[in-house]
Each structure stands twice: as structure tokens, then as C-alpha cells.
Amino acid sequence: MGEKKAIKEQKIIENVLKSELDFITYVDADTGIYHTIITNEETDVTPPTYGDYAEVNEVTIPKFVHPDDQEECARALLLSNIVEELSGKDHIVVPYRLLCGSSYRRKELSIYYHGGDRKTIVMVRRDVTDSYEEEQRQNERLYYALMDARHANQEKNEFLERMSHEIRTPMNSIIGLSYLTKEYADNEKQVLENLDKINKSAHFLLSFIDDILNLSQIESGNVAMVQQDVEFENFLTDIARKVQKWARPKQITFAMERRGAFDREYSFDGEKLGKALLNMLENAIKYTRQEGRVDFIVERLYDSEGEATIRFEIRDNGIGIEESFLPYIYDPFEQEDEHGTTLNGGTGLGLSIARNIIEFMGGKIDVYSEKGKGSTFVVTVTLQKVADYEMSLRKQSKLENLDYDFSGKRALLVEDNEVNIEITRNILKHKNLEVEVAVNGEEGVNAFLMHEPGYYDVILMDIRMPVMDGLTATKKIRNAEREDGKKIPIIAMTANVFEEDVRKSFEAGMDAHLSKPVDIKQMYFVLDGMIYG
């Protein structure tokens, strides 16, 4: 019984060794005679069971070892060299590629003495092709991950450097001009010129920050299109008016052509589509030479039920774009000509934002250009048709009316920034709205609760404040045990401008959302609607 068990265990050991190894052989260091004791029958190129070690190598190495490995393999497997190497090591490993069938596989030959007997050299060969290839794949993955990390770090550094430049340049103008304005306070002409330049720098700074934030939001998909009824002719006229203003200093001929019949109104995000088109038109003006030409062609391609597909073509005879640069024109901060100044040359974000907006609207943008002859950008979008035009027109008319009067009405302004408090209070007082101030959300809640119902007609609430934020304050007012807490209009007036921020404002119980810096016309319009209904 014990003998059978020993035989069975021996067979198990042999089978395991055969599955894991190509062969095991041993060589007499004095005579050079080898004996092979275990061989995997499925392995190609194995030595005979018995023979002269040197003679076998002389035949098999030139015939089966990869040409690039033959010289090193022959040297390493020379018996005298093996003896010399093992004099100072426990074992050595000789890697090489071996022809197995029609392809080469990776092999490793481990060589060591048998126990304390320094006359018997044991050689074990195993196939390491799969592990080698996996190691190479892992090394490749690590390499590309390292390259990606370095590239990302480089992009981050370049982004921060560009951000610093684009922000510090207009800030330098604002700070410097503010100082000079104080110095020339008695010179009205100089003061007005400085204020105009400060205003230009501030608007550039605001536009740049908006571009960065909008690009980030659009690329992350964390943005929503605001569908509004837009009078199409006014939309086009407003674009044309702005472009004419840009074209005039360079004496560029700008023409807008309408092809086909358009509905009076369409429902779409006019602000975002206008931004995209104006970015491309601004580029056309910027890169068209003095007395050149820019054409803006608007064409109704076709209608379907409830929709219209519109094609916008922006064509210029400017400097054009090199064909090699076309694949990069939509990359943030990429500019073929980077010699322009910050305030006049742009930031390199316009086309990137434009493409993201158009694609987010489900449209497409194509570009055709030839260096030295000009460029053509073609935008195709589908817009929703609008049924009730008259109601939309009345709303627009009311927005345009600036003759607001809030006499006899009182607002609670909840705001922690002293400068913003002063500016907002003066803007509201200009239309006879009485204003009281709380400098954080907790003070705002207390001010509301300590007065009788109906004392305040509206609350203007900042979002980010110390002690208690605006969202929490709004919830406390809405949950207060008094009827006016549920009815009083609460308007968010905040620098939190993303759609996610707007959603949170409404979820907290606010009735409207105004973004800083405040559009004064829009503020009056919203207040009028909230106070008078």
C-alpha cells in the first residue's frame, strides 16, 4: 500500500513538473555528459535523454536560437563559463528566444549545482513568453500612464500660466488706471477715458472667467440649454450690430444675408447660440486684414413638424488657416498666431466654446480654409418653432421698458460684501425701492421674523455667506410658522451661475435667480414681476 502511494505521488510530481517546465537535465562538470530526466512532451526543441553537452549546443543554438541571441547564448552556455559564473553565485539564468514551430518563444534556463555536489550542474528550462508579454504590456501601460501624467501636469501648468496671464493683464490695467484716475481727479476728460478703459478691462476679465467656467461646464456635460422664445430677426440684428462695431475700426465690410423665409420666433437658447456665432464672427473680424470683407449668411434649409433647420455661414477673405493647424483649431488656448495682446488678441477659447455649444445643441460645425485666402465656418442647427408669438412679444416689450418705480415697496438685501451692498442698494434706490440690509443668512432670517407679516415685499438673497448660507436661510424662511414666509418673493443674487446652482436655488424655495455681476435691466424686470405680479 505504501509503495503504491509513493508511486502515485511520484507521478503527480512528474506531471506537475512537466506542465510547468520544458525539461530538467543535469551535466557532469568533469566529463561534459548530460542526462535529461524530465521532459514535457508538448514542448518543442528539447534535448535527447543522453549525450555530449557541447555537441548538442553546437547543433541546437545555430538552428533554433534567435539570430540576435545566438552569440550571447553560446557564450553563457559554454560549460567553462558556467563553472566560472557559479563559483561566485548560487545560480544563474540565461534568457533567449527559441524557434518553436513557426515562431519564437521566450525561454529561461536556470542553472545551479545539485546540493553541495559541485560536480553536477542542474539545468531547468521554462517558457516565460506569456509572463514576459504581460510584463511588457504592464510596462507599456505604466509608461503611457507616466506620459499621460506628465502631459496632464504640463497642460495644467500651461493652463495656470495662461490663466495667470489673462487675469493679471486686465487686472494690471484696472489697478493702474484706478491709481491714475485719482491722480487726475480734476481732469474730467482724462477721468472719463480712464473709466472707459477700466470698463473695457473689467468686461474682458469677466468674459474670460465666464469662458473658462462655461467651457468646463459644457465639456463635463454639467450644463443645460435654456429654451426661450427668441424673436429671430432681433436675434440676428443684435449679432449684426455687435459685429459692425468690431468691423468699423478696421474698415472691414460686413454684410448679413438672409436666405429663405424665417418664422418670427424660434425656441432655443439664444444666449448660448449667440455666444457661439459671435465667437466665430469675432475671429473672422480679428483675422481679416484692413478693408477686408466678412459675410454672415443665414439660410433656412428646411422645415419639419415643429422644427426648422438653420444654416449659419461665416465667410471671410482674411489670412486663412494652415491645413496642418485645422485639427487643433478647437483646442482650448490654441492660436495659430499667438502674437496678439490679451485684450485685443483674444484668449484662444472662442472656437472651443463655439464648437461645444453647437454640438451640445445637437448641431454641427464645419470649417474650410486656405492660407492667405480666408476661411468659412458653417454651423447647422435645428430650432424649435414657437406658436404664441404675441405673448412672447409682450414679455420682451416689458423687459425693454426701463421706467420702473418701486415707491412704497421695501426689500431685504441679504449680502455679506460691503461693496456689493453699496452698489446694489444704490441701484435699487434709483428706482425708489427702500432697502434694508442683513450681512448673513442668520441675520436675514431674524430680520424677516422680527417684523410683522408684509413688512418686506421682496428678499434679495446671496448664496455664499458666513454664519448661514442663502440656501439654508431661504429654507428657514419658507418653513417659518407664518403665512408670508411661504409667499414672499425670494430672489437669488449670486456669483453661483451654473445650471446646477440655479436648480439648487429653486429647490431651496427661491423664486428667481440673478447672476453677478448683475444685469441691471434684468434685475428691474424680475423685481417688477415679483413685486407686482
Q: What tens digit of pLDDT does each residue of 71-108 get?
A: 999 999 999 999 998 888 888 999 999 998 888 999 89
- Which grid coordinates are listed for 11? 507521478
- Which grid coordinates are listed for 4? 503504491
Which residue type is seen at 245?
K
Q: pLDDT over 70 for what percent of the chain?
A: 83
**pLDDT greater than 80 at residue 123:** yes
**pLDDT greater than 70 at residue 48:** yes
Same domain, 38 and 112: yes
Alpha carbon separation from 132 to 9, 92, 95, 97, 427 (Å, rounded): 32, 18, 11, 11, 73
> So what's the pLDDT on residue 398?
53
> So what's the pLDDT on residue 403?
74
Which of 390, 410, 432 is where one domain is finished? 390
**What's the average model confidence in pLDDT over 311-327?**
86
Which residue type is seen at 325?
F
Q: Which residue has the higher pLDDT, 327 or 525?
A: 525
**pLDDT greater than 80 at residue 327:** no
Query: 188-192, 244-248, 379-383 — which is least confidently predicted?
Result: 188-192
Q: Does any domain span residue 107?
A: yes
CA distance 462 to 444: 10
Which among 336, 370, 374 is positioned nearest to 252, based on CA atoms? 374
Same domain, 191 and 97: no
**What's the average model confidence in pLDDT over 298-317?**
90
- Which grid coordinates are listed for 23? 525539461
**pLDDT greater than 50 at residue 341:** no
The SS3 of residue 7 is helix
Q: Does any domain span residue 239?
A: yes
Locate cell 410658522: which residue?
A: 481
Same domain, 342 and 419: no
pLDDT band, residue 9 (cuts 50/70/90): low
Same domain, 177 and 253: no
Whole-angstrom Cα Rg for the chain: 39
- Which grid coordinates are listed for 74? 553560446
Which of 220, 250, 268 is where one domain is finished? 220
Locate cell 525561454: which residue?
A: 107
The SS3 of residue 501 is helix
pLDDT band, residue 343 (cuts 50/70/90): very low
Domain of residue 168: give its range.
Answer: 147-220
Overall pTM surpassing 0.75 (yes/no): no
Which among 380, 377, 378, 379 is positioned nearest to 284, based on CA atoms? 377
**pLDDT greater than 60 at residue 522:** yes
Which residue type is seen at 356?
N
Alpha carbon separation from 432 to 403, 426, 456, 512 (Å, rounded): 11, 10, 14, 21
pLDDT band, residue 310 (cuts 50/70/90): very high
User: Cβ distance 372 to 319 under 8 Å?
Assistant: yes
Query: 162-166, 249-253, 523-527 — which is least confidently predicted?
Result: 162-166
**pLDDT greater than 70 at residue 342:** no
The SS3 of residue 77 is coil
Q: What are the beta bridge partners of residue 381?
A: 310
Which among 47, 179, 178, 188 is positioned nearest to 123, based on CA atoms? 47
Which CATH number is 178's domain given? 1.10.287.130
CA distance 73 to 120: 21
> So what's the pLDDT on residue 57?
92
Which among 81, 78, 107 is positioned nearest to 94, based on CA atoms? 107
**pLDDT greater than 80 at residue 265:** yes
Query: 67-71, 356-360, 372-376, 411-415 — which is least confidently predicted?
Result: 356-360
CA distance 135 to 115: 32
Which CATH number is 58's domain given? 3.30.450
Beta pairing class for 364-370 and 374-385? antiparallel
pLDDT band, residue 154 (cuts 50/70/90): confident
Query: What is the number of H-type helices and E-type strands within the chain?
Result: 17, 18
Same domain, 213 and 315: no
Q: Which residue has the higher pLDDT, 39 or 16?
A: 39
Same domain, 462 and 482: yes
**pLDDT greater than 70 at residue 390:** no
Q: Does any domain span residue 137?
A: no
Which CATH number is 446's domain given? 3.40.50.2300
131 phi/psi in degrees, rounded to 5: -65, -35
Beta pairing class for 228-231 and 265-268? antiparallel
Query: 216-220, 395-399, 451-455, 521-525 — which is least confidently predicted?
Result: 395-399
Average pLDDT of every residue of the chain = 83
Q: Does any domain span residue 281?
A: yes
Helix axes 129-183, 188-220, angle to 10 degrees: 160
pLDDT band, residue 207 (cuts 50/70/90): low
Same domain, 123 and 261: no
Q: Which residue has the higher pLDDT, 161 or 248?
A: 248
Which of 171, 187, 220 is where one domain is finished? 220
Q: What are the beta bridge partners of residue 376?
A: 315, 368
Same domain, 479 and 364: no
Q: Does any domain span residue 161?
A: yes
Q: What are the beta bridge partners of residue 114?
A: 117
Same domain, 366 and 412: no
Which CATH number is 324's domain given? 3.30.565.10
**What's the average model confidence in pLDDT over 410-432?**
91
pLDDT band, residue 344 (cuts 50/70/90): very low
Query: 53-67, 200-214, 272-286, 487-501 — which is least confidently predicted?
Result: 200-214
**What's the average model confidence in pLDDT over 437-462?**
94
pLDDT band, residue 14 (cuts 50/70/90): low
Provide the domain count of the chain: 4
> So what's the pLDDT on residue 339?
45
> So what's the pLDDT on residue 325?
78
Which among 416, 459, 515 is positioned nearest to 523, based on CA atoms? 515
The SS3 of residue 294 is strand
> So what's the pLDDT on residue 224?
56
User: Cβ distance 493 to 461 under 8 Å?
Assistant: yes
Which among 444, 438, 449, 436 is positioned nearest to 482, based on CA atoms? 449
**pLDDT greater than 90 at residue 295:** yes
Same domain, 91 and 182: no
Same domain, 31 and 121: yes
H helices present in 258-415, as ranges: 270-286, 342-345, 350-360, 389-400
119 phi/psi in degrees, rounded to 5: -105, -25
Q: Does any domain span residue 386?
A: yes
> So what's the pLDDT on residue 174?
83
Q: Which residue has the higher pLDDT, 390 or 85?
A: 85
**pLDDT greater than 60 at residue 471:** yes
Q: Where are the beta strands (DSSP E) in 29-90?
A: 33-39, 50-52
The SS3 of residue 51 is strand
The SS3 of residue 17 is helix
pLDDT band, residue 213 (cuts 50/70/90): low
**pLDDT greater than 90 at residue 281:** yes
The secondary structure element, H or E, covering residue 67 is helix 67-76
Q: Does any domain span residue 298?
A: yes
Q: Which residue has the higher pLDDT, 161 or 75?
A: 75
Q: Does any domain span residue 314?
A: yes
The SS3 of residue 229 is strand
Same domain, 244 and 270: yes
Q: What are the beta bridge partners of residue 296?
A: 256, 314
Distance of CA 341 to the CA centre of its chain: 25
